[in-house]
A and B are shown apart, each in its own frame.
Chain A
Amino acid sequence: MNGLGSTMLSLGQGGSAHGSIASVGNASSPLQPALFFIFELGVILAIVGMMLCLYRMVRGPHLADRVLSGDTLAYQVVGLVILLTLRMESTTYLDGALVVAIIGFASTLAFAQYIGNLRRQTNA
């Protein structure tokens, strides 16, 4: 845990150049190590969740399974970006979360239209 924390901490100082929240955030809080450990745990669990979604995307028997796993993957990416925002102490990443959420929703709608029209096209 300590080795992981130190490596990710050294990663985090690269991102804190531009929109740093260290000045406005509570960097000197006594709960700061627990917070960072929870954020790193969340990053790892989000990556594991993305792997599970990719497994369902490969396995999925129906096309809807693949589409819903892609939808879940998009929301896992949103959560990962928010967690990286918190961990890297740089607020510039947070715009990416909103963009990924919107694009994931639009792609879900487009694939749903496609799936709903499949049977009609093959019958006609």
Chain B
Amino acid sequence: MTWATIRDILSIFFALAGIFFMFVGAIGVVRLPDAYNRLHATSKCSTLGIMGLALAAIFHVGTIAVAAKALMTIVFAIVAAPVGSHILAKAAHLDGMKPWDRQLSDELQQDRDRQSGKSPANAPRGMSANNPARSARRDPGSDPTARISAAV
């Protein structure tokens, strides 16, 4: 097995992985129920997909110039994608976007309510009014949702 064949096999493997993650990310953007959930799919697409395709380019071409550009793309995508997803999710939460109706807890909203001094008005199901996360974790109670969130 020559070095060219090994390079081709590595290129095929990384290209298939990259194509798979890109397409799965695009499907997730359409199919997931919520913008917070869709950001999860976007991050898969932009880190693992770009990384696979750029590694395929490195192994297929094999020159220093292409490897430098592809590595720059990988490093930039890995640094930028989580930052973009995080800041977009926080901006959507600041704007008051309604989350999925089957979510278990919204800890950022609880923290924000606790800091502003008011009791959490729209507390998630199964949580008691004051100090919700701790009490739910200590005493699951009879509500099945509280038991699930205490187990998590």
- Where the two chains meet, the residues of A that have a C-beta atom closer than 8 Å to any C-beta of B are 21, 24-26, 29-32, 34-35, 38-39, 41-42, 45-46, 48-50, 52-53, 55-56, 60, 62-65, 67-69, 71-72, 75-76, 78-79, 82-83, 85-86, 91, 94-95, 97-98, 101-102, 105, 108-109, 111-116, 118-119
The reply to whether A24 and B61 contact each other, CB–CB distance below 8 Å, is yes
Contact of B8 among A26, A49, A71, A101 (CB under 8 A): A26
- Please indicate the chain A residues that have their CB under 8 angstroms from the CB of B136 in the complex: none
- Of the A-B pairs whose beta carbons lie under 8 Å apart in the complex, a sample of 22, sorted by A's number, is A21-B66, A25-B62, A31-B5, A38-B16, A45-B22, A49-B25, A52-B27, A60-B35, A63-B95, A72-B29, A82-B73, A86-B15, A86-B57, A91-B61, A101-B76, A101-B80, A102-B76, A105-B81, A112-B90, A113-B91, A116-B94, A116-B95
- CB closest chain-B residue, reference A60: B35
Cβ-based interface call for B53 (8 A): yes
> 5 closest pairs, A vs B, by CB?
A49-B26, A116-B91, A64-B92, A26-B4, A31-B8
- Please indicate the chain B residues that have their CB under 8 angstroms from the CB of A72 in the complex: 25-26, 29, 41-42, 45-46
- A89 to nearest B CB, angstroms? 9
Contact of A68 among B16, B27, B39 (CB under 8 A): B39
The reply to whether B38 and A79 contact each other, CB–CB distance below 8 Å, is no
Say whether chain A's binding surface is mostly helix, strand, loop, or mixed: helix
On whether A42 and B84 interact (CB within 8 A), knowing A82-B57, A102-B76, the answer reads: no
- Please indicate the chain A residues that have their CB under 8 angstroms from the CB of B95 in the complex: 62-64, 115-116, 118-119
Cβ-based interface call for B77 (8 A): yes
The interface bits of chain B over 50-67 (1 if a CB of A lies within 8 angstroms of the residue's CB, else 0) are 100110110011110110
* CB under 8 Å from chain A, chain B span 63-79: 63, 65-66, 69-70, 72-73, 76-77
Cβ-based interface call for B96 (8 A): yes
The reply to whether A75 and B46 contact each other, CB–CB distance below 8 Å, is yes
- Please indicate the chain B residues that have their CB under 8 angstroms from the CB of A98 in the complex: 69, 72-73, 76
